[in-house]
Amino acid sequence: MPFDHWIRSATSSDVVKVLPVSTEVIIEEHLLPESMHGDPADRIIVATALAFNCELATVDKNLRSLRRVKYYTRKLD
């Protein structure tokens, strides 16, 4: 499937809600421990979950070690 078709399908409103990188996300990212993770994308994902009070679905052990984040724990079918 061409990328443009895939990304439109993967980000459709019935699949996922795309959230903005808001001021609150930037503040949360700034408050994350420096030791957390060096990957800027991972830091923004975690900060977004915190800013919007969302559960984070990840198997990344480094990200799961953060105590402030709520994690998605239900099994996916």
Per-residue pLDDT of the chain (77 residues; tens, 9 = 90+): 899 999 999 888 888 888 899 999 999 999 988 887 678 888 999 999 999 998 888 888 888 888 888 888 766 55
Residue 60: per-residue pLDDT:
83
pLDDT at 76: 54
- For residue 76, being part of any structural domain is answered with no
Residue at 32 is within a domain: yes
CB 47 within 8 A of CB 40: no
Q: Cα angle vertex 20, ends 60, 9, to 5°?
A: 75
- pLDDT value of position 25: 96
Give me the number of domains the chain comprises.
1
Structural domain contains residue 64: yes
Total Cβ atoms within 10 A of residue 52: 14
Question: Would you say residue 60 lies in a domain?
Answer: yes
The verdict on residue 9 lying in a domain is no
Domain limits at 56?
Answer: 19-71
The pLDDT of residue 22 is 95
- Sequence-distant (≥ 6) Cβ neighbours of residue 71 within 8 angstroms: 55, 56, 57, 58, 64
Q: Crossing angle, helix 40-51 and helix 23-31, to 10 degrees?
A: 110
